[in-house]
Structures are given as C-alpha cells and as structure tokens.
C-alpha cells in the first residue's frame, strides 16, 4: 500500500485526496497527496489513513493544501470492528455534543473501558481523543468559513466552555482561533450563519436539485431553481436550513436557523450525504463511461449523485407511500400525511416551511384514514413506526445489508423493491439495486430491445458491483431523465 501511496504523493495525484494523508517528519506537517509543496524524501514520510492518526502523533495540518479544511474524516470500514465503526460514525455525526463517552459506549452495547480498548486496537486512538480532534476540526471550518462569533463556534462544535475551546484549538493547530480567523479574513462569508461545504469540480448543484424537486414534501421541503430549504426536528433541536451554491468557491452555502447550535455538526454531516459530497467518483465514472448499458445515463459526462435522505424515517414513510404510484402522487400523499399530523412551525420560518415531518411516535397514534392511502399502506406505516420505536428496525448505514434486509422484510407490506430503495436513498448503501423497479425494467427493455426477466436483471447488475446504486440512477436517467 505504501508503494501506491508513495507514487501518488510524488505525482501529486489529486484522485487520491481523501484516501490517505502523509506527514513529513522534518517539518512536523501533514498534507494531502496533491499538496503543491516540494516533494519530500521518502525516508522522511509517514502515511496515514485518518487525520486523527496524524494529529495523535503531533503533526499539524499544512497551510497550503489545508487537509483539515478541504477533506472530511475518511469513513474507512474497520474490518471486524462493527462497534468501533458505529461509534466512530456517531462521533462524526455529533453524538457527543449531547451525550457522554459512557453513553456512546452504551449505545453500541459495550462498557466505556471496552470501547476504549477497541478504539486503541483498531484505530490506535482512544475515542475521547478522536472526539476532541473531531470537534477541533469542525470548529476550524466554522472559524474559517463563517462569521459566527467564537463563542457560538465553541458551543456549536461541542465544547463545554470557551476556555476549553481555546486550549484544545491552540494545542492542535498551534495558534488561537482568533489569530487564525484574522489571517484568513478574506475567506469568510458575509453572512453570519453560513457554513461552506466544499465539493469537487464534477459536482453540479442544479442536477441534484432537479432530482429532489419532484420528490419534495410540501410544507417540509421547498426546492427552487437556486436553493433547497427544509425543516428539521430532532430530540435535541429544531429549525430550518437553506442550501445554495457558491460556484466561485466550489462550495455549497449552508444556512441554519435553530434553537440549539450544537446540532450544527449533525446538520452539516447530513447535508454532505444529501448532496453526496464525499464519494470519490473518478473510478466509477471511468468505468460507467465505457458501459454500453449505462453511459447514456451519465449527467454531463458524470455519474449522477446519490442523494441520501436528510431524515431516514421520513424517507421510509415516503417510500411506502410511493409503492406502485407515480413520484407526483407520492409527493401529494406525503404532504397530506404531514398536514394531518399538524406539527406546525412558528412564525419565524420562511413561507412554505409550515410543518415538521412527524416522528414515528406521532405516526403510531395518527389516524391515517381519509388521505387516499390504501388500508395496507396505512397498516405498513404504523408497523414500521412501531418497529423503529421498539428499536427492532435500525435506520442507520452502520449495519450489513443482510441484517437490514432481514429486519425490514419481517414487516408485512415491505418487499424487495422497498428494501433496496430505502437502503439506497435512506441509508446510503451504495451497492443496492432495486431490480424489480419499473423504471429500471423499462430502461433495460429500451436498451436491450426486449424485456429482461428479473434474474437476468440481477445478473446484469453484478457487473456494476460495488456501485450498483449509481448504476440504478443511470438507468433511471435513461428511462425518464426528468425524474
């Protein structure tokens, strides 16, 4: 592996950015592969797969390539360490902004001591230190890319006090937050609540908006030609967000209005998934461009993004409603459900954002008659809500597809199509493929000249492993480019 990394580093290969980092022992600095700095001798270089490893060994981020600002934590799957992976994902999502390390351990069913041993064994860094580094890295993004006060940034990043924030920040980055902000004044947005989410040159904001627009739930979401809006309501916070494009800075602008700024980390993470900003598309695009069945489904020569739903439960309900009906009809029915639940926002929300989507606890007791939903769909929605409340169904990506399939398929009314579609769009599992989908069948019928059998479709899809979800998007584009 080091030979591959060494070659990529010496070639300054940008396609490896996000796959590894390297540090130079003589300078004490770590960089991403494409860093424009002079090429260091191999004997002086150490390679890392996570930014936390570099920080733990005392290296500081490069001021030229800024690996701490332009790269997100690498979501490496930890072999044989499911609990470590699940806990790591929770840290990235801001779980520790509201909970303790002990609660984190309990959430993955181990003791605090055992969780520490697992983290040190598999990652080389204790969870408390990873949490510290992650808070500091997120805080630095806010220092550089927003005009929020340093006090707001401290608490939005999960620090318990300004003193703790300043101390940790200076320990890791070698300078105070105010000093770094002063030197990077020109990079900050003019609006106080704006966060910048960097993207690669292949990203097309309006392509994702065109996918989201017909699927938006009226009252909860709003999609215009230039922006995406939605409400959110969690156990800890509620509010709304607005996302626009800032092409000049190769970044999305995220504005958040909330009653608890500690939710910023979670919102930031969910928006990155919604716009599929962390996928390395170089390999899959090269592969699909040569595929006769998929190449016509590319968008401007690029593989379509996979928008992972902001609210997984919301999407599950939407998918059930959408069984055997059009996208437009599903959106209409979902809006009726939201209106009936009547979880209204207050007067500070923009026009068009009138409701929060009801959580499973509310849907369990909600009368669904008279909305146009069949009796079987009403029952399925209530059974799914019950399974989520009882924790029999986990709507998270840190589980195997097989485990998710088994849990979800045990609910009456849930079939193969719904399971694969939810795994794709709600959980972000990138190797799922809804082979029985009507759009996929019709697209392949047009391409092949005859209607394929289900087994033929499944066999065809094997060649697109491990990117079958993206193959499904390409086929959908060919059958109906607008949807």
DSSP state of 296: G
Integer Cα distance of 226 and 174 in angstroms:
39
Give the chain's domains with CATH numbers: 2-65 (3.40.10.10), 82-187 (1.10.10.60), 281-307+430-483 (1.10.1670.40)
Integer Cα distance of 478 and 429 in angstroms:
22
Tokens at residue 29, please?
């600095």
Question: What is the pLDDT, as a whole number, of residue 1?
Answer: 57
Average pLDDT across each block of 10 residues of the chain; the chain has 483 residues. List them in order. Answer: 85 83 94 91 90 90 84 56 84 88 90 92 88 92 84 91 94 90 58 74 91 95 96 92 92 91 90 92 92 92 94 96 92 96 91 95 93 94 96 88 94 94 95 93 93 95 95 90 44
Place of tokens 């800890």: 236
253 CB-side CA count, 13 A: 18
Question: What is the pLDDT, as a whole number, of residue 52?
Answer: 86
Contacts of 15 (CB under 8 A, 6+ apart): 8, 280, 282
Q: How many residues does the chain have?
A: 483
8 A C-beta contact, residue 237 and residue 263: yes
8 A C-beta contact, residue 416 and residue 452: no
pTM of the model: 0.84
Integer Cα distance of 209 and 228 in angstroms:
7
Phi, psi of 409 (to 5 degrees): -70, -15
Element housing 341 (H / E)? helix 327-341
Question: What is the pLDDT, as a whole number, of residue 415?
Answer: 93
As to burial, measured by CB atoms within 10 angstroms (0-12 exposed, 13-18 middle, 19+ buried), residue 260 is middle
Question: What is the pLDDT, as a whole number, of residue 73?
Answer: 62
Question: What is the pLDDT, as a whole number, of residue 191?
Answer: 45
């Amino acid at each position: 592996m080091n030979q591959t990394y060494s070659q990529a580093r010496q070639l300054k290969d940008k396609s490896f950015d996000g796959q590894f980092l390297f540090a130079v022992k003589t300078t004490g600095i770590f960089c991403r592969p494409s860093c424009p700095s002079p090429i260091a001798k191999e004997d002086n270089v150490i390679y890392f797969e996570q930014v936390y490893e570099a920080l733990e060994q005392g290296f500081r981020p490069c001021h030229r390539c800024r690996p701490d600002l332009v790269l997100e934590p690498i979501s490496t799957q930890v072999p044989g360490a499911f609990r470590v992976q699940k806990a790591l994902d929770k840290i990235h999502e801001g779980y520790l902004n509201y909970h303790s390390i002990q609660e984190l351990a309990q959430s993955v069913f181990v003791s605090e001591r055992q969780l520490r041993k697992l983290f040190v064994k598999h990652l080389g860094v204790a969870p408390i230190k990873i949490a510290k580094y992650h808070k500091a890295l997120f805080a630095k993004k806010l220092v550089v890319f927003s005009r929020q006060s340093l006090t707001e940034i401290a608490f939005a990043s999960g620090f318990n006090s300004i003193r703790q924030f300043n101390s940790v920040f200076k320990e890791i980055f070698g300078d105070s937050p105010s000093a770094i902000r002063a030197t990077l004044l020109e990079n900050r947005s003019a609006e106080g609540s704006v966060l910048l989410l960097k993207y690669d040159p292949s990203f097309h904001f309006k392509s994702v908006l065109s996918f989201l627009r017909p699927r938006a739930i009226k009252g909860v979401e709003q999609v215009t030609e230039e922006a995406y809006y939605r409400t959110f309501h969690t156990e800890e916070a509620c509010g709304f967000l607005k996302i626009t494009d800032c092409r000049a800075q190769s970044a999305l602008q995220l504005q958040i209005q909330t009653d608890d700024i500690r939710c910023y980390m979670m919102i930031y993470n969910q928006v990155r998934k919604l716009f599929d900003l962390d996928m390395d598309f170089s390999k899959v695009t090269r592969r699909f461009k040569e595929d006769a069945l998929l190449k016509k489904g590319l968008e401007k020569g690029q593989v379509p993004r996979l928008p992972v739903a902001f609210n997984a439960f919301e999407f599950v309900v939407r998918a059930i409603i959408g069984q055997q009906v059009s996208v437009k009809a599903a959106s209409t029915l979902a809006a009726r459900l939201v209106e009936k639940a009547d979880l209204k926002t207050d007067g500070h929300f923009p026009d068009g954002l009138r409701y929060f989507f009801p959580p499973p606890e509310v849907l369990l007791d909600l009368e669904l008659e008279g909305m146009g939903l069949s009796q079987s769909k009403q029952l399925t929605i209530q059974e799914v809500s019950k399974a989520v409340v009882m924790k029999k169904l986990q709507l998270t990506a840190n589980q195997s597809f097989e485990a998710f399939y088994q849990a979800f398929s045990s609910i009456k009314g849930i079939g193969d199509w719904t399971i694969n579609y939810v795994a794709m769009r709600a959980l972000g599992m990138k190797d799922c493929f809804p082979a029985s989908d009507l759009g996929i069948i019709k697209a392949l019928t047009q391409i092949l000249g005859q209607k394929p059998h289900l087994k033929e479709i499944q066999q065809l899809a094997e060649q697109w492993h491990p990117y079958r979800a993206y193959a499904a998007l390409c086929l959908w584009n060919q059958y109906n480019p607008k949807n």
